[in-house]
Chain A
Amino acid sequence: MTNVDADIAIVGAGAAGATLAATLAEFTNKRIVLLERGGYFTHEFFDQRELDMSLLYADRGSRTTVEGAIPVQSGECVGGGTTINYALCFDPRQDVWNEWKRDVGLNGFSFERAANDYGVLGLNMASSLAEVRRRINVHSPLDDEINGNNHALAAGCKALGIPTKRHELSMIDCIGCGYCAQGCAYDRKLSTMVTYARDAQRRNVQLIHHCDVESIQFAQRGATRAPTGLAATVRPTMSGSEKNSVAPGPLALAVKLVIVCAGAIASPALLQRSRMPDPDQVIGRGLVLHPILPIAGIFDSALSNYRGITEAVYSDHYAASHGLYFESLFRHPAATAASLPGIGIDQFAIMSRYDKLAGCAAMLVDSSDPRNRVIWDDARGAPTIIYRLSGQDKGRLRFGAQRGVEIMLAAGAKEAVLCTEEPLGSLPSARFSTRQDAALCERLEFRPCETTLLSSQCQSTMKMGEDPKRCAVNSRGESYASRNVIVCDASVFPTSCGASPMLAVMTLARYQGKRIANELARYGM
């Protein structure tokens, strides 16, 4: 048994946890431990192979909704999702945060630069965002960094009169290898693994990876409940990982403040495992997945779209009306073959032209339905993820499918392909040559395990707000069920944050880190 004494434990070293650890270390002299379930893999380990790099993902990529219909991908490594994402940066959407202020009575989170939230000098969203943007070099890619795939999306949209925009990305001098999702082998993507996690370590934060946190332990004094520590197990370090700071085996952490940053699946799961009181059954409920429907186009000439910046162009033209973003998407061969419709020579007619494929996706900002939820299953030792698309969201995805097919055809594709086995009217498989064919998307049923849907942006399972009946934590991220337990990650968003969430999560973490550093007395420190 290893015993570690600290003031603050942060569970999860991803977008939120690493940023928070670095921020707290910058503004306090408290003893901080940063815990990560996955390993600590750095650029030398990333070999750009789909199969090998699955160990950077939660449960090695095996996490899905209960029917197996939608993979629910998150990063499980130092850097978390930022190690395996496409570095998309969307500023926190002020309209969404204002809506949350109205709906659940959020305090703080001022977007004015002059605001001093909670009486803390300079504490506001605008300054936190500016600091994060600077640290991870948020910028738009240059014209010569746009690959053929992104040009295809832009051209298809333009032909249909749909305006497009250029993503902002957290990279520096990208070489365009196309393997963001397998970890950047060149340290050109500024994940929190190469930024805030290292800042934190330089400021003496103790990083413990390969660490399974089993539960938060509490003491009850009168009506007040407060954590005394964490029970955890450190697994042996996998080969290829950096060394760990403690030996493998059971780990007992004595801490005063626990900050949960494990993401929208693992955060509620940890609190459920810890038997956190939940009288109104809000923990884990309202899961948002941002389901992604891939659409491919078959072109005449070689495009080699697996190279270059994978996502550089998008359209939010249908975001307000349909909750849909159109974005670039390209995947490596094994994942592509597993998704393209059909088998045998029928599928090979598409797969043999892999280098002539372009891909885009319709990403749905889905509604937060309390029936969609995460439940920790003690027997299996894993979370059960219950998620079904609402009728309305299916309708939006049908529209997204049709528009996506039209975009690919307008971009010059000879055929557009949907990754579905569903029969669509007269079509023998989901391959579309004309706009008339595209209208058949109206028939899509989205039965589970028939159409490829992806997801990697889970949110909203530990909602923040000032109504304890509907929310799990208050505006400060503090649990309603226990003192000195804070949740700070995408799970606290009351609904979808309305875009790819990384930068909103990091801004939130920077903001809460600065707030906590100025309110230590509130936590008995």
Chain B
Amino acid sequence: MDRRDFVLAGSLAAAASLRWLRQGGLFAFADIAQAPEPSSAPLQEANGVFAAIVRAVLPFDDARFAAITPIQVETRANESFSLDKDPSIQRNLALFGDLTQFATPPAWVSQAELALYPAEDDERSGPSLVPARESADAKAFQTASARWPSGTTSFAALPLAAQRAYLGLWARSALGTRRRFYQAMKTLVMSAAYSMDQTWPVIGYDGPLLHVRPS
């Protein structure tokens, strides 16, 4: 096995995210016959969705972060994690990118929620039923999206601030599967970016010490 393959297999922080996405991610409980096919129009936009996620997650709007470009991060993420070649990941990105699906998530999301995120005795967020969680998300979306350009149905088309707010809805979603997707994307993007040597001087990290390996 080539040394490079180790890196392709995924980083410690990213491996769990990748594995979940490849095994279905948001679609893990979906009847795949009902899920969009990899050839359908929304899926062709999946690469655009990931490009937009990279730009929203990383601080390219801070001049100090100019050491790398969004394209470099995208390329590294795709090389390291094969995001652009995996139909399951593409499907996940397309679902995330379609704003019209947020307020009323597909039925399999509720199934995943029931199976993996059961109500807990000490849950403080009120009635811990899945419909209550879904309506909490719908309400949060309604509040946030009121400030976005009207008629926008795609994440990639939102302005940067709105994209970050939308990611925030996923980060703090009442639905566990959505929080997991957010964590997965954040982990993949951060792993790709901060494993690039060029980002290290920006944050004051001197990198590996191996040049002083004693004989």
Contacts and interface: CB of A to CB of B under 8 A. Distances in A.
Contacts of B124: 445
Contacts of A388: 120
Contacts of B210: 47-48, 185
Given A239-B3, A343-B167, A61 B12 contact: yes
B51 interface: no
Interface string A436-478: 0000000001011110000000000000000000000000000
Nearest to A175: B214
A354 B120 contact: no
Contact of A334 (B58, B125, B191): B191
A107 to B, nearest CB: 38
Contacts of B208: 47-49, 179
Nearest to B209: A177
A54 B15 contact: yes
B180 A338 contact: no
Mostly, the B contact residues are helix
B144 interface: no
Interface string A34-61: 0000000000000111111111010111
Given A51-B191, A62-B10, A391 B122 contact: yes
Interface residues of B, number: 67
A421 B16 CA distance: 19
B123 interface: yes
Interface string B53-68: 0001111011011000
Contacts of A236: 1
A449 B7 contact: no
A445 B125 contact: yes
Contacts of A185: 210, 213
A203 B186 CA distance: 48
B13 A352 contact: no
Contacts of B202: 352
Interface in B91-129: 116-117, 120-125
Contacts of A29: none
B213 A50 contact: no
Contact of A348 (B65, B116, B182, B213): B65
Interface in B1-53: 1-3, 6-7, 9-20, 23
A47 B195 CA distance: 13
A62 B18 contact: yes
A352 B208 CA distance: 19
B76 to A, nearest CB: 10
Interface in B170-215: 171-172, 176, 179-180, 182-184, 186-187, 190-191, 193-195, 199-200, 202-206, 208-210, 212-214
Given A47-B210, A68-B20, 13 more contacts: A54-B10, A60-B10, A68-B184, A306-B206, A307-B206, A335-B12, A337-B194, A338-B190, A351-B59, A352-B203, A354-B205, A391-B122, A394-B122
Sort A-B residue pairs by CB-CB distance and give the 5 closest, nearest first: A355-B204, A61-B12, A348-B59, A62-B15, A48-B208
Interface of B: 1-3, 6-7, 9-20, 23, 56-59, 61-62, 64-65, 80, 116-117, 120-125, 160, 164, 167-168, 171-172, 176, 179-180, 182-184, 186-187, 190-191, 193-195, 199-200, 202-206, 208-210, 212-214
17 contacts: A48-B210, A51-B80, A51-B195, A54-B9, A61-B15, A62-B15, A66-B116, A68-B17, A177-B209, A179-B208, A238-B6, A333-B203, A333-B205, A344-B56, A344-B61, A347-B59, A423-B172
